[in-house]
Amino acid sequence: MSEGKLEAIGNHVTVNRLEVANVRREHLNSTFKCQASNTKLMMPAEKTVRLELLLRPLSVVIARKPHQLIANQDYVIRCRVEGSRPKAKITWTRGNREFLRGKITEESNETMVVSSVAFAPVPEDDGTFLKCIGDNVKLIGAALEDSFKLNVVCKYLTYI
């Protein structure tokens, strides 16, 4: 049982404040119950609250980064962002620009998002970086990222 800070406001109102210091991830969904009574003749009035937290992402990982990509061949690249609450917003970039080519799909739960980008690299992509950025937009400076260098090769056919 924790005692809060008791404060009298007027003749018939008393406020008791509970402060939780050093809140960590482990406190997510913790419940706190406040009971108030002024007589043993009645059950105490009570209110329960659940602690909701804003959490930054813990990890951003591009799965199975290809070492080499063949130009104009279709690929699906997946990025997994874990730990953010609310769920992370995922942005794909190539170079310093948002990567809008191809098709982007997402699947998620409360603290994990998997984003997949399906695209066919072109020779001009060679040497650039494809980056996955996971961000909690409700927190400043919470973004994490993972990237890899696109090594695009061309498949040439020779005719004799």
Contact in structure between 1 and 7 (CB atoms under 8 Å): no
pLDDT surpasses 60 at 54: yes
pLDDT at residue 17, rounded to an integer: 84
Contact in structure between 153 and 127 (CB atoms under 8 Å): no
pTM (2 d.p.): 0.81
63-88 burial, b if ≥16 CB within 10 A, otherwise e?
eeeeeebebeeeeebbbbbbbbbebb
pLDDT at residue 1, rounded to an integer: 43
What is the CATH code for 59-153?
2.60.40.10
Distance of CA 120 to the CA centre of its chain: 27
What are the extents of the domains in the chain?
A: 5-50, 59-153
Residue range 121-139, pLDDT digits in tens: 999 999 999 999 999 999 9
Residue range 65-86, pLDDT digits in tens: 999 999 999 999 999 999 999 9
pLDDT at residue 86, rounded to an integer: 93
